[in-house]
């Protein structure tokens, strides 16, 4: 099975729900953080409409038409601010 990119709706959280970045280091050093080379999370945030137009064109050029239009629709619907999980295989 090929890797999939799965969208989260958006990345928003109240400040009191955030933890310092050293939390990952602590769990990693204890061997408890998942260091899966086939899974990660990334965020896309495109503020300027001109940048969005450029990305729409890039997506249409580089992806199959159905994939490009679906992703563009999703990003338009979420104001071009969304996070994605890359779920891979071993």
pTM confidence score: 0.71
pLDDT of residue 53: 97
46 vs 84, higher pLDDT: 46
Neighbours of 24 (CB within 10 A): 11
Q: What is the pLDDT of residues 7-57, one digit of tens each?
A: 876 566 777 777 777 777 887 888 777 767 677 788 889 999 999 999 999
How buried is 53 (Cβ within 10 angstroms: 0-12 exposed, 13-18 middle, 19+ buried)?
Answer: exposed
Q: Which residues contact 80 (CB under 8 A, 6 or more apart)?
A: 44, 45, 46, 47, 52, 55
């Amino acid at each position: 099975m090929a890797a999939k990119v799965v969208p989260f709706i958006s990345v928003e959280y109240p400040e009191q729900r955030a933890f310092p970045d050293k939390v990952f280091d602590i769990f990693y050093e204890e061997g408890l953080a998942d260091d899966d080379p086939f899974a990660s999370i990334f965020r896309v945030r495109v503020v300027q409409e001109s940048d969005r137009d450029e990305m729409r064109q890039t997506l249409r050029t580089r992806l199959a038409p159905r994939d490009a239009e679906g992703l563009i629709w999703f990003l338009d619907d979420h104001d071009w601010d969304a996070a994605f999980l890359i779920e891979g295989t071993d």
